[in-house]
Amino acid sequence: RQRQMCIRDRYDAIAESYDSLFKDEVSIEENNKIASMLFDVPGIILDVGCGTGLFLDILKVSPDEYFGIDPSNKMLEVFRKKHPGYYNLCIPFEMFNLKFMVFNTVVALFGSASYIEVEALTDIPEEKNLFLMFYKETYHPVTYERSGCELEYYEHSRCELEQGFPHCEVKEFGNYYIVTNV
């Protein structure tokens, strides 16, 4: 619970300037590559750690096919200004029961999955589509460098992720592991 409060408070503090931290060429190129991987994601999407709406910035889906959750209300305020009409909810990740969700696909971009206890994610039924990005164990998130905000997150090796998600492929993408079955 304390970890989630810290995440919320830190991201609340940088919410207004968050998007400006990722206008560089490398970030834009990463976004384009991720967008191409997610181009045909099926069904209703749950965006875990949706923040200011990066998923909707890089991919267009209709409001009735999207739902975002994030622990930072300030990040969601920015999201709502950018993407009016899209559903979102401010809630700590661990309080959202992913096991009984009605969504077809769960997405957690650019390290968002690293802030969630892996057990909460491995409880997702196998028939759901996953695209979860975890920080590699040696990576120091660029968000921290650019914002001056340091946060605790869960570290997982590729082997641990392969064992925890046996029905998925674990890919390397820059400083991330992507757990996916889409």
pLDDT tens, the chain, 182 aa long: 455 556 778 888 889 998 998 999 999 999 999 999 998 888 899 999 999 999 999 999 999 999 999 999 999 999 999 999 999 999 887 676 666 678 899 999 999 999 888 888 888 888 889 999 999 998 888 777 777 777 788 899 999 999 999 999 999 999 999 999 98
* Token pair recorded at residue 64: 């009735």
Angle between helices 2-14 and 73-82 (to 10 degrees): 40
Distance CA 27, CA 127 (A): 31
Q: At 68, is the secondary structure helix, strand, or coil?
A: strand
CB atoms near residue 156 (< 10 Å)? 21
Q: At 35, is the secondary structure helix, strand, or coil?
A: helix
Instruction: Count Cβ atoms within 10 A of the Cβ of residue 90 and give its class: 0-12 exposed, 13-18 middle, 19 or more buried.
Output: middle
Task: Report angle CA 125, 110, 161 to the nearest 5 degrees.
Answer: 45
Distance CA 77, CA 15 (A): 8
Q: Residue 68 has what pLDDT?
A: 95
pTM of the predicted model, to two decimals? 0.90
Cβ partners under 8 Å of residue 159, min gap 6: none
Measured over the CA atoms of residue 81, residue 85, residue 90 and residue 91, the dihedral's sign is negative
